[in-house]
Structure 1
Amino acid sequence: MASCWIENSTLLTAIVGTWAPFVTFVLIMLFTRHRPKTSAGLSLASATVSLASALVLLGGHWNLQRPLEYTGRWLVSGDIYIPFGYLLDPVSLLMLTVVAIIGFLVQFYSLGYMAGDPGFSRYFALMSLFLWSMMCLTISPTLFQLYIFWELVGLSSYFLIGFWYEKFSAGQAGKKAFVMTRLGDVAMFLGVLLILLHLGNLNILEIDSPKIVGLMPPEMLTLAALLIFGGIIGKSAQFPLLTWLPDAMQGPSPVSALLHSSTMVAAGVYLFERLFPFFLFSSTATTVGLAIGTISMLLASTMAMVSRDIKQIWAYSTISQLGFMLMGLDAGGLFAGAFHLTTHAAFKALLFLCAGVFIHQYGTNDIYDLAAKGTRRMRVPMLCTIIGAGALAGLPPLSGFFSKEVILAKLAGLPNPIWLVAALLGVFLTAYYAFRPIFIMLFPPSLPAANASNAAPEGTRHRLLYRIMVGPLVILAGATVALGFLQTPLRNFLAGQYTGLTTAGGAHLGWLPYVTSLLATGGVALTWWEFGRPGARQTGFVDGIPVIARFFAERWYLDRLYRAILDHAVDRGISAVLAQNDTRVIDGSIDGISRGTVLAGRLAALINAGMIQYRLLMIFAATVLLSLYFFF
């Protein structure tokens, strides 16, 4: 390290904050797996340490003038060494704080949600493993170190998605997520190697510096950017690798809140922020990214319009909002993407944790079943859900309104208006699908009296667990309301991130906030007309066209397309060729050698079978040959 880590308070804080969860993971797996309370206490204590460290680093470096980089030799081979360390700058400090806050709240919430689960200790061990991986990813100074923790985050996600491995669907969802994200990770790895070949190292600050333009030919720079963007597509579930995220809802609801809405899938967007100048050096890469984000945003919105599973609805909304973030970043707005990532972390974690309260109480994910069982009587979770949905829809004065306006302003500054038009359509669709489950649960067609009494948890223990889960909801609801008013401080904080980079400024259109508010309000009004007004049939306008409704419900037949590709190209193509090679070449060669060995053995056995005439014949022949050789 640049200095002794014990004497450097900043470095010591970073080390303690990021490695405390890993220590907890080791302790739980080795010593406390059979003591659930101890395991939970260790995990929550390490999350508290991480949160305190992140807040200390953020507060102590709020006016940071230049990045702080601490690196030391990790692996050495001759003149080559691989560094390991920490990079502290506004982008990493903000993301580190978001991860720490959401991680702490989700783990506290999990005390109630996971109470009594047979895998209680294993759950908290895996959550600690994820928190360690994500925090170390956030402050990695090199792409090599970032890639290591990128893969560890994916591994943690695989374990947590399939946490209830006894369920076949959970195991399948975990495998699907693992395989689809690996496709993107392979592309990312190739992009990293391409940078290494031209730059000679993987230091993030050097990759983001203008000198890389002189070291890499334009076509190679564009190729590297597109390959790394492939990793972003996989991790952030963007088109065409977006279908794994809704299935990943098979894990516990706190897992959905932490991994697949607020932090893990946002790692892809964070990588774009981390390499923001590098991507902007290639106009082709930003155009492709803008198109991918737009397509993902619109496709996921249509899928959410017809889903009945409350967690899948919020999962589709995550894909859509991540698409919004990428649109803002590709339009040249670092603050636009970072600000929406921050607000989204709060209101999306809020929505998932509220859904977890409903599911924990009633044992179903179906919004119509939840409505029939009396979710509207759970006042605090229902109110928090409304606040979260309002922020998701972009209704003022909630935080989602302010962060979306920043993105729309950047899109309005682009020469091609198609991106702004698509984003405005996305605002309307988001408001529609966000309030569809709200009105269904608030205004069910009938609320049987037998189920009405089940609206509130019964018994002292159940009330305690309920209060444990409600506490984080209140905090996240407050953050959802307040974060929008922190726009100016956050903008100033991120203003010095890339001082030498010039990007197109956003358009200052006075009418834009009014149009977006009108579209969001119109989406809510249409949802109320179809699902909330007295006598409403509670079917959407899309349901009136069965072909389109089925098309959206089948996720635009993307999964069937992938299944067909696997069946024909992989199973009947590559796999068939490999099977023939195994049968004819490998097995055939081994069988031929075996047959030759058998024949040789039989010949040797025949010769050595005790038949004296054959031996005498051979002796006579050998004698004749020797006589001829010596005498003639």
Structure 2
Amino acid sequence: MAVPWVSDLTLLAAILATLLPLCSFLVVMLFTRSHPRISAGLSIGAMSVSLLCALFLLNEHWHMEKPLEYAGRWLVSGSIEIPFGFLLDPVSLLMLAVVAVIGFLIQIYSLGYMAGDPGISRYYAFMSLFLWAMMSLVVAPTLFQLYIFWELVGLSSYLLIGFWYEKFSASQAGKKAFIMTRAGDVAMFLGMLLILLHLGNLSILEIDSPALAARMSPRLLTLSALLIFGGIIGKSAQFPLMTWLPDAMQGPTPVSALLHSSTMVAAGVYLFERLFPFFFFSPDAMTFGLFIGTLSMLLASTMALVTRDIKEIWAYSTISQLGYMIMGLDAGAFFSGAFHLTTHAAFKALLFLCSGVLIHTFETNDIYELGRKGGRSLKVPMACCCIAAGALAGLPPLSGFFSKGLILEGLADLSNPVWLIAALFGAFLTAYYAFRPIFIILFPREASGEPEVHSATSTSKDHSAGHSSSHYWLMGWPLILLAGATLCLGFLKAPLEHFMGQTALPGVKGIGHPVWLLYTEIILAVGGVGLAWMEFGRRCAQQVGFVEKIPALHRLFAERWYLDHFYGWFVDRVIDRGVSALFTQNDHRVIDGSIDGISRGTVETGRLISHMHLGMVQYRLLAMFVVMVLLAFYFFF
């Protein structure tokens, strides 16, 4: 580096922002695990400094003209050098600020939510580990460095999902998330190798440059893009690797808010943003991504229509909204995906945290039980939850209305109207399932009027339940701040678009503003909320949805379109009875059989040769005679 890090404020801020959470993780795990208050203080203190550094970097480089890269040699082997450093540009700076703000607020919230838990030091240590990995991923200048922290984010997710490891369902959910995301990561790694073979390095700026498209054939470019998109599918829980995310709700609710709504699962969409020019060079890869995003959005929306677990509803909505982001990016509307990622981080974290207060107070995840136990008596969480649900539904003037509208406008620019029609239908479903739990909690009915329970996880409880209500306001203030962000972020569209517009590709068409689409979006959002009100809110409503009146359709959606059944069948028939059985036979017959055969041959040979060492003259004479006969045959015949 040309400038010493201690005299370069930008570099110093980047180092502190990413390194301090790692330091707090190490200190807590090595020295303060038996002191929960000190551990929490260290983790929150480190995160607060990281937050200040992230906001300083965003403000300092708000008008930056070109990306700023710091890179130094990390590993050297002959002529091969692997760099390590920081890449600061509008994409990374905005995401760094989002992760820092959400992470800090959730750590404050966790003081109340996790109070009294015997593993609170371990909890804050794992939180710090995740935040270090996520923030380092965001500013990585090479795909190799990004992949390292990509895997560390997956490890942190596994540790936090299975935080209450004594609960079998939590440990199983952690393993499921880890295995399913690894499947996508293998594809991503193969795509990286293809790029490395043809480009010679994995610099993100060089991958995004037109030079890569000139050096790789269109087929190889498309193949590498599709393989990297496999990593996005796994991390962002898109079809077909989408069923791990609802099960991941077994972890503490703040974990769900941080990892599985606004940061960790958003890493896949962030990677798409980071490599947007690279994907843009392959129209076939963009079309495939558009199909996957659309299918994931629709499937997850249908699943959210029938579940009773409030955290699972928001988990399905996360999958759906991530699908929306991918649709916007694949439509060529770069800012629409980036902006929806930013607004979604605020209102989805708010939804999870509001749900956490309800779960913490009433000891159930079931929306019908929350309603009957008096969920509407918690004024601040319910008010904030209504604001967040409105943003999720796309109601004006909340932030989700502006960001989702940009995605719809980007899809309207495509020649094929199918994508826009699917997105509009998804917008209607989103408004419906977003307000279904709201109306059920606000307007409870007697137990006789509720539908039967069809989900084995609908009554799962957080271990943090039963704490004193004295921690209510520790959880309340982050809700108020996130609600304020949800109300205001939509009005920052213009400055953020100018800031992010500096990364736009030349030749990417701008987004139009058809008036009819704006009115259609509002009508569909209001229509979805109105239908939810008719079925769950009004006085004489039976609180039975239109899907629940069709048993076959209800079961299809409740069983997640039988995706888990397919995975179970595939693992049992193909993996266990097919591949594993074949390998077992190979192990027994080829590997063990060959070793056993060699061993038996050695024993028999030794037994045969042992007869020649008995010291008897006739055996020696016989051996000499045989040798002489063989020599005679060799020389004379």
TM-score (norm 1): 0.94
Cα deviation for residue 113 of structure 1 reads: 1.0
The aligned residue for residue 493 of structure 1 is 499
Q: How many residues align?
A: 613
For residues 25-61 of structure 1, give each alpha carbon's deviation from its aligned partner in whole angstroms, at most 9, with x where no partner exists: 1111111111111111110011101100000000111
For residues 130-163 of structure 1, give each alpha carbon's deviation from its aligned partner in whole angstroms, at most 9, with x where no partner exists: 0000001001111111111111111111111111
Q: Where does structure 1 differ by over 3 angstroms across 4 or more consecutive aligned residues?
A: 596-608, 614-629
Q: What is the alpha-carbon distance in structure 1 between the residues aligned to residue 620 and residue 513 of structure 2? A: 109
Contact 2:116 2:467 in 1 (8 A): no
For residues 112-141 of structure 1, give each alpha carbon's deviation from its aligned partner in whole angstroms, at most 9, with x where no partner exists: 111111211111111000000000100111
The aligned residue for residue 452 of structure 1 is none
Unaligned runs of 5+ in 1: 449-459
Amino acid at match of 1:482: C
For residues 223-247 of structure 1, give each alpha carbon's deviation from its aligned partner in whole angstroms, at most 9, with x where no partner exists: 1111111111110001111111001
For residues 399-418 of structure 1, give each alpha carbon's deviation from its aligned partner in whole angstroms, at most 9, with x where no partner exists: 10011111111111111111
Amino acid at match of 1:234: G
Residues 446, 379 of structure 1: alpha-carbon distance in 2 compared, 3 angstrom cutoff = farther
- Other structure's SS at 1:414 match: coil
The aligned residue for residue 299 of structure 1 is 299
- Residues 27-426 of structure 1: matches in 2 within 5 Å? 27-426=27-426
Amino acid at match of 1:225: A
Contact 1:411 1:506 in 2 (8 A): no
Q: What is the alpha-carbon distance in structure 1 between the residues aligned to residue 601 and residue 356 of structure 2? A: 67
Cα deviation for residue 361 of structure 1 reads: 1.4
Cα deviation for residue 621 of structure 1 reads: 5.3
Contact 1:51 1:97 in 2 (8 A): yes
Contact 1:69 1:86 in 2 (8 A): yes
Cα deviation for residue 579 of structure 1 reads: 0.8
Q: What is the alpha-carbon distance in structure 2 between the residues aligned to residue 303 and residue 128 of structure 1? A: 33
Residues 93, 618 of structure 1: alpha-carbon distance in 2 compared, 3 angstrom cutoff = same
Contact 1:374 1:447 in 2 (8 A): no
Residues 584, 530 of structure 1: alpha-carbon distance in 2 compared, 3 angstrom cutoff = same
Cα deviation for residue 167 of structure 1 reads: 1.1
Amino acid at match of 1:615: M
Amino acid at match of 1:513: L
Q: What is the alpha-carbon distance in structure 2 between the residues aligned to residue 3 and residue 227 of structure 1? A: 38
The aligned residue for residue 435 of structure 2 is 435
Q: What is the alpha-carbon distance in structure 2 between the residues aligned to residue 518 and residue 623 of structure 1? A: 106
Cα deviation for residue 333 of structure 1 reads: 1.1
Unaligned runs of 5+ in 2: 449-465, 631-637
Contact 1:258 1:349 in 2 (8 A): yes
Q: What is the alpha-carbon distance in structure 2 between the residues aligned to residue 282 and residue 626 of structure 1? A: 75
Contact 1:187 1:227 in 2 (8 A): yes
TM-score (norm 2): 0.93
Q: What is the alpha-carbon distance in structure 2 between the residues aligned to residue 337 and residue 368 of structure 1? A: 34
- Other structure's SS at 2:62 match: coil
For residues 150-191 of structure 1, give each alpha carbon's deviation from its aligned partner in whole angstroms, at most 9, with x where no partner exists: 111111111111111111111111111111111111111111
Amino acid at match of 2:15: I
Q: What is the alpha-carbon distance in structure 1 between the residues aligned to residue 527 and residue 591 of structure 2? A: 66
Cα deviation for residue 212 of structure 1 reads: 1.6
Residues 615, 533 of structure 1: alpha-carbon distance in 2 compared, 3 angstrom cutoff = same
Amino acid at match of 1:487: K
- Other structure's SS at 1:242 match: coil
Residues 627, 36 of structure 1: alpha-carbon distance in 2 compared, 3 angstrom cutoff = closer
The aligned residue for residue 461 of structure 2 is none
The aligned residue for residue 456 of structure 1 is none
Cα deviation for residue 616 of structure 1 reads: 5.6
Residues 598, 507 of structure 1: alpha-carbon distance in 2 compared, 3 angstrom cutoff = same
Amino acid at match of 1:492: H
Q: What is the alpha-carbon distance in structure 1 between the residues aligned to residue 469 and residue 178 of structure 2? A: 37
Amino acid at match of 1:117: D
- Other structure's SS at 1:84 match: strand
1:481 aligns with 2:481: no
Contact 2:343 2:486 in 1 (8 A): yes
Cα deviation for residue 218 of structure 1 reads: 1.1
Cα deviation for residue 463 of structure 1 reads: 3.2
Residues 430, 461 of structure 1: alpha-carbon distance in 2 compared, 3 angstrom cutoff = closer
- Other structure's SS at 1:540 match: coil
Which of 552, 556, 568 in structure 1 is aligned with 2:561? 556
Amino acid at match of 1:160: L
Contact 2:375 2:441 in 1 (8 A): yes
Q: What is the alpha-carbon distance in structure 2 between the residues aligned to residue 109 and residue 257 of structure 1? A: 11
Residues 34, 620 of structure 1: alpha-carbon distance in 2 compared, 3 angstrom cutoff = same
Amino acid at match of 1:497: T
For residues 484-525 of structure 1, give each alpha carbon's deviation from its aligned partner in whole angstroms, at most 9, with x where no partner exists: 111111111111123x52212223211211111111111111
Q: What is the alpha-carbon distance in structure 2 between the residues aligned to residue 314 and residue 96 of structure 1? A: 24
Amino acid at match of 1:344: H
Which of 502, 517, 520 in structure 2 is aligned with 1:515? 520
1:472 aligns with 2:473: no
Q: What is the alpha-carbon distance in structure 1 between the residues aligned to residue 36 and residue 599 of structure 2? A: 57
Residues 471, 606 of structure 1: alpha-carbon distance in 2 compared, 3 angstrom cutoff = farther
Contact 2:612 2:620 in 1 (8 A): no
For residues 337-367 of structure 1, give each alpha carbon's deviation from its aligned partner in whole angstroms, at most 9, with x where no partner exists: 0110000000000000111111111221111
Q: What is the alpha-carbon distance in structure 2 between the residues aligned to residue 308 and residue 447 of structure 1? A: 14
Residues 627, 373 of structure 1: alpha-carbon distance in 2 compared, 3 angstrom cutoff = closer
Q: What is the alpha-carbon distance in structure 2 between the residues aligned to residue 626 and residue 530 of structure 1? A: 101
Amino acid at match of 1:319: I
